[in-house]
Amino acid sequence: MSPETLVKEAPVTSDFSIDDFNSHVMNTYARFPIALERGEGCRVWDTNGKEYLDFVAGIATCTLGHAHPVLIEAVTKQIKTLHHVSNLYYVPVQGELAKWLTDHSCADKAFFCNSGAEANEGAIKLARKYAHDKLNIEDPVIITAHASFHGRTLATITATGQPKYQKGFSPLVPGFVYVPYNDIDALELTIAEVDKDGRRVAAIMLEALQGEGGVRPGDMAYFQRIRQICDQKGILLILDEVQVGMGRSGKLWGYENLGIEPDIFTSAKGLGGGIPIGAMMCKAFCDVFEPGSHASTFGGNPFVCAVALAVCQTLERENILENVQKRGEQLRSKLTEIAEKYPDLIADVRGWGLINGLELKEDVELTSPQVVKVVMEAGLLLVPAGPKVLRFVPPLIVTEEEVNLALQAVENALKQLTA
């Protein structure tokens, strides 16, 4: 398929009305004016029958793309068997999923919930309980990074080092301090300042790669020094792998790119391939939860665990990480070529695997949402990561041809916008 035929028209299949939608649904998203109704592989179609190449994947969520046969089989089989029971009873497939995750990571235990925010909330609660129960810290402090993103609950927007997400929701949850990302001197100074105040740092919570903060990979030396500090001071290291985990970085977990192991880490998004599930995982020494400490009604029910297990097994069985690595290298190489053609417009190309960012220069008027709108008209879906970064997060099954089509659409858009 050539770039000129990236967009396909099909018969209109719906009488959906955006105006009707807006009259009944809360206005919590700045939605683009298209309505999607079906998908297959790395492509989706809107209610007018227009086809798009999907490089958003539900924001790094649709691991196996849309309508994958493995997902269809897992969903169909489980919904016919048992879809939900209480965690007051043992759920065998939940145990199978936990075993797969712990066998394929540094974790010993897993707690299941519904989303990344809930997984991070669980990690915060676990760190605080560990601080109280094991370290006798009455006023524990958790250090997070500026430009981070950890979720939308009150605790996780407080952990999120971006004031725009916190505006209008004060009073925020106490006990969080922020540092610049990838700046070890600032981190060590902050730990010392907390100690001077008579408090103690209980945990450091960071993303292995900052997604919403502009697709900024962690620096290996920075994280290895943090691991040393945590070991020396008895501080827990929490990694938020909600966006970068489950193979998106080219390795199963983002921390594998950094040469360290966290004490606690979280997963969601790609874990269920689009079915809502989150997981908070930890090493045995910090598993201080007990009956009544934490819970989730829907967390880890048979339906979501069966689908997530199918996703995990497919990643392994079909060696999808190899595709992530190859397509990621292809994507970054081509983006770098585009950047060299537009040196006055593009500041940087960066990322791991199939989470990549193209950063526009601060002193140019062009913004990432403007580019997103133009490529959308050409049949490509991209998502901004802030006002100056275009984020590329396609399904992990994306093909070489689809990467080339997407990048041609981007280059065509930049030509159009700078003409």
Please give the pLDDT value at position 11. 52
Please give the pLDDT value at position 2. 42
Quick: pLDDT tens for 131-155: 999 999 999 999 999 999 999 999 9
Average the pLDDT over 300-316 and give the result: 98
Tell me: pLDDT of 105 over 50.
yes
Contact 338, 346 (CB under 8 A): yes
Which pair of tokens denotes residue 266? 């979280």
Please give the pLDDT value at position 5. 45
141 forms bridges with which residues in the sheet?
Answer: 201
End-to-end alpha-carbon separation of the chain, Å? 26
CA distance 255 to 281: 13
Q: What angle do CA 384, 382, 373 make, to 5 degrees?
A: 85
In 3D space, the residue among 58, 63, 69, 5 whose CA is nearest the CA of residue 36 turns out to be 58
CA distance 98 to 399: 30
Least confident of 94-103, 189-198, 258-267: 189-198
Q: Taking the mean position of all CA atoms in its chain, how far away is CA 99?
A: 22
For residues 301, 36, 152 and 104, what is the CA-based torsion angle, rounded to 10 degrees? 50
Contacts of 30 by beta carbon, 8 Å cutoff, 6+ apart: none
Average the pLDDT over 225-232 and give the result: 98
Q: Which residues are annotated as a binding site?
A: 116-117, 149, 152, 240-243, 296-297
Please give the pLDDT value at position 1. 40
CATH of the domain spanning 69-316: 3.40.640.10
How confident is residue 221, by pLDDT bands cut at 50, 70 and 90? very high
CATH 3.90.1150.10 fits 16-60+320-416, yes or no: yes
Please give the pLDDT value at position 285. 98
Average the pLDDT over 188-193 and give the result: 97
DSSP-assigned letters across all residues of 271-328: GGTTS--EEEEE-GGG----TTS---SSTT-HHHHHHHHHHHHHHHHTTHHHHHHHHH
Quick: pLDDT tens for 318-337: 999 999 999 999 999 999 99
In 3D space, the residue among 207, 226, 230 whose CA is nearest the CA of residue 217 turns out to be 207
Please give the pLDDT value at position 288. 98
Residue 176: CB atoms within 10 A of its CB come to 18
Q: Which residues are annotated as a binding site for N(2)-acetyl-L-ornithine?
A: 152, 296
Which pair of tokens denotes residue 394? 């396609």
Which pair of tokens denotes residue 99? 């075993």
How confident is residue 383, by pLDDT bands cut at 50, 70 and 90? very high
In the chain, the percentage of residues whose pLDDT exceeds 70 is 97
Range list for CATH 3.40.640.10 in the chain: 69-316
Q: Which residues are annotated as a binding site for pyridoxal 5'-phosphate?
A: 116-117, 149, 240-243, 297
How confident is residue 228, by pLDDT bands cut at 50, 70 and 90? very high
Q: Taking the mean position of all CA atoms in its chain, how far away is CA 25?
A: 25
Axis crossing angle, helix 320-341 with helix 400-418, rounded to the nearest 10: 20
CA distance 117 to 299: 13
How confident is residue 16, by pLDDT bands cut at 50, 70 and 90? confident
Tell me: pLDDT of 12 over 80.
no
HSE (side-chain half, CA atoms, 13 Å) at 3: 14
Cis bond leading into 291, ω under 30°?
Answer: no
Which pair of tokens denotes residue 2? 């050539």
Range list for CATH 3.90.1150.10 in the chain: 16-60+320-416
What pTM, to 2 d.p., does this model score?
Answer: 0.95
Which pair of tokens denotes residue 161? 């080092």
Please give the pLDDT value at position 197. 86
How confident is residue 419, by pLDDT bands cut at 50, 70 and 90? confident
